[in-house]
Structure 1
Amino acid sequence: MNEATSSVIFIILAFSLGAILVMKRDTLPPRLKRGLALSAIVMIAFAFFIIVYSFYRMGS
């Protein structure tokens, strides 16, 4: 797999994790919810960084 494919897969998975956590927030235990939410925030922030960086590299 090349770098672009890996980036796209990570971005899709990060946003999917965030969406699943939002949809299932009522059924998760509080301790598990906090850890998953923090990891999802970090992953989504890194996914945004990858998107911005790929646009930056495309322009130069």
Structure 2
Amino acid sequence: MDATATVIFIIAAFSLGAIVIMKRDSLPPGMRRGLALIAIALIAFAFFLIVYAFFTMGSA
């Protein structure tokens, strides 16, 4: 498992979530809902990757 790619994905997912939250007033309603759903899915997967990394930390 490539740790660098995982860290970059986690940073990007949380950054997307932060940008959607900060710019929610300037986004059109249709795009806002779609971006929010995508951000939620990516952040949930990032949390899964963090937990998976903790579980597999000692076995390498």
TM-score (norm 1): 0.93
Q: How far apart in 1 are the matches of 2:10 and 2:36?
A: 16
Q: How far apart in 1 are the matches of 2:54 and 2:20?
A: 28
CA deviations on 1:24-54 (whole Å, 9 max, x unpaired) are 0000000000000000000000000000000
More helix by share: 1
Q: State the number of aligned residues.
A: 59
Q: How far apart in 1 are the matches of 2:24 and 2:58?
A: 39
Report the counterpart of residue 48 of structure 2 in structure 1.
49
CA RMSD of aligned residues (A): 1.1
Percent identity reads 69
TM-score (norm 2): 0.93
List runs of 5+ in structure 1 lacking aligned partners: none
